[in-house]
Structure 1
Amino acid sequence: MSTSLAPERLESLRQQFLAHDSNQDGSLSQTECTELVANITGRSTGDYAVQCVIRLFDEDGNGVLDFEEFASLVSCIENGYFDREVTLEDAFRMADKDRNGVLTHKELRHLLKTNPEFSKEDIKRIMDQVETNPSGQITYEIFAKLIEELEPLAESEQ
């Protein structure tokens, strides 16, 4: 995984990484990432936000960030990645907790609950109507179609 960080910046990040790798296993757990984010930003971050970031940058899917994954995260932050709109692919990857490339109803429901524009009734109605593949799962294509259909609903509630 490549980053656009200068060698000096990478060395500085390696020192921060090692300082927060409390069990010295060469990776940052969710707890260690939460502490590091608080240390860097000066504010605490919710568990769900940290879980989402880990899922986005955890290339090998082991639930933790190794140094290369961590450096990629920092590079994205420093290059304005998080200053842009979240893409459908980002949202799908964040919701796909087991990283199997499809969403369960539970994963989709959890994602919808993070949007304050949807009431409990809206979420129930959406979940009752959502299409699935023959295995009862929600593919990316189904998800993208659902979001496209939901955009006018979210806009009308503003």
Structure 2
Amino acid sequence: MEKIAQPQSSFMKLCRKLSPKRKDSAAESQHIKNGDHDKNRHIEAVFAYMDANKDGRISPDELQKSFMTLGEQLSDEEAEAAVRLSDTDGDGMLDFEEFAQLIKGDDKCSEEEKKMELKEAFKMYIAEGEECITPRSLKMMLKKLGESRTTDDCRVMIRAFDLNDDGVLSFDEFALMMR
């Protein structure tokens, strides 16, 4: 069962990586209608990214390749288990509704699970041997995600959440940004 939970957590990480302005705070629950629309738009973007052949469905192979693009490994068995977990029509693929349910179902995870997910996501943004997100490491990760930014753009992004003005993001600053 743990191997199945791993892909779900990774889906949420992927959503957050592709949609860094995603918010889940209770203060924003007043705007549920707009929030749901924005969240669905983000899920649609992730779905479109993973649906490499644009057939409206994500196969275990497409899922696995998407993870590799992001520098994560997903075994054949894990990819198949992730698809099987939410494949309600039994076709061996995830259509948009099944994919959205898989991602939305992850919203119910515990605070400890969310913190672990954040730590894993944070590690993806830091360069080897570093302990924080630098403009250079942010630029490299955004490039892997297909988003081209200059180092100066990345400095501006970091500055928006850099509470101690040291020019980098610590895990705590990253966690605040992701809320």
TM-score, with length taken from structure 2: 0.39
- Determine which structure has greater relative contact order: mean sequence separation of CA pairs < 8 Å that are 6+ residues apart, divided by chain length: 2
Structure (1 or 2) with the greater helix fraction: 2
